[in-house]
Structure 1
Amino acid sequence: MFKIIGIMTVIIVLRKLIQDNPLGLLTTAIPSPNHPFLQSSHIPFVLDIGYGEDETNLGKLRGHLARVNPQSKVMIENLTENPHLNNVIEQDVIVIFNSPIQHYVTPKLYTETKPTTGKVVPTWNYAAVQVYGRARIFHDTKTDEAGRFLSKKILDLSRHAKNKVMGFTGGDNPIDWKVSDAPDKFIELLKKSIIGIEIEITSMGGKFMMSQEMGMGDRQGVINGVFQAGIGDCKGDVQDGAGPKRSEGSKEGECLIKRYHDRLEPGL
């Protein structure tokens, strides 16, 4: 059953989920006599949002696909047969980003409502962002434009993965690998086996279902149940964030419940 509660439109929150969880599921719908109409691939993306926190400019997503991927083949086929498209896919594409922490919520966890009224049913808590846009494909590696795009994309993704995902920021956590550690000829050879994709974002939205429509007692029951199930890695942080007010300054590495459950005000 679709619930209005949980719809998220705050751009900075949507961007944060993407940056923390850059592996997106790209889906295209391109007519082809040789390939399925619908194609999907998991791709790690770099989100470009420019300077500041301008919410009117939604930004771009940059990624790459293996050239032998059937989704790559159908895009190349379509663009080769339609040069007037200037390497921009005619149909919109969608990319879905999911938080890694999601779980079934049994009615037993609603410790306030279940004993008093029994009017509770199971649900599934999760957080996800959907991004829509137009995709430009860089598939001709003989062109300088494609070469520059892929080189920058490889460097930026490696930097984001090392710094943001792995936490290798220097000092006690030194960066363990750089693109420059590999031979240039090896990198150039690999670039020939991939295509680049740049998505101009036209709209984005999210669904953050964290039982935030429930009362404080039920929400605390969900938090306790999450820990008993061994989900998440920040028990102290969740307990600190159990209040009904929006918390600020969440440190990196806090689990989903702390970040979103009680930061979302009831009714979102």
Structure 2
Amino acid sequence: MGTPLGDYIRAKRDSIQPESLGLPDRGPRRTPGLRRTDLALRAGISVEYLTRIEQGRDRNPSPAVVNALADALGLDATEREHLRYLTKISGSLCVSHRDRAVAPPNRQVRASVLEMLRLLEPAAAYITNRFGDVLAYTNGFERLMAGSGVLEAAQPNLTRYVFTDPRAHDFFADWDQAADELAFDLWLAPSVESSEQFRRALEADAGAQFARRRDRHVPPPQLPLRLNHPAGEQLRLLRERLELPHADAQQLVVLLPADDTTARAMARLHHRDGGGLRAVS
């Protein structure tokens, strides 16, 4: 059985053209990308050891080996951080974890956090977690999502909405970007077991388009979010995120206009009737 670490190294190796690293062209290859022998040589490890890591037979490479692989693959700072994270969870992930009872993610939003959210009105802001659950939101966020279907479920979840609701493809002008971000965010969940459980459940409904992104392991760039609002407004939004304390395992996300056109459009949306701050049990 493979591991997230091994899958990522193999996927990253397959995406690299040897010429980009100054390596000579050695003729046709059975698979695209960097040969395992070339990566092992650049990292200063044996091909057999690299094979064991990629296939999940070695789950605990030393920090020196992980850093050497990061250098050999030419990873940037964000990719290096992700590589270290995958090393950590690969070391703890085993078959027994998949079979034991998994504690559900924390859905309780503290009263002081709800008060902070209330003070942000009329801004579009919400509390979420790495699974995409929408746990509480402002009236401004409700107006922003009106007509999209995001908040129709009893327990709204952005990840499930994006991958299973056909309306998401129209609502998110850059659907692929949104899908990549939400799939990658699952790797950052506080519990390896709960994240794995959520991914398996969603894959049953979302199919290959989710599985492909889930295994890509590519940290997506943080670009403005573009929405096609059902009211006919074209919105371009910046997202500011505040990580709440570790015990909460939640984030506060505020959506801000990225340009004057969006600011005027959101002002028009704010004049619509709304219900006020909402916490989802």
Of structures 1 and 2, the one scoring higher in RCO (CA 8 A, sep 6+) is 1
Instruction: Work out whether the TM-score is over 0.5.
Output: no
Q: TM-score range by the shorter chain?
A: under 0.3
Q: TM-score, normalised by structure 2?
A: 0.21
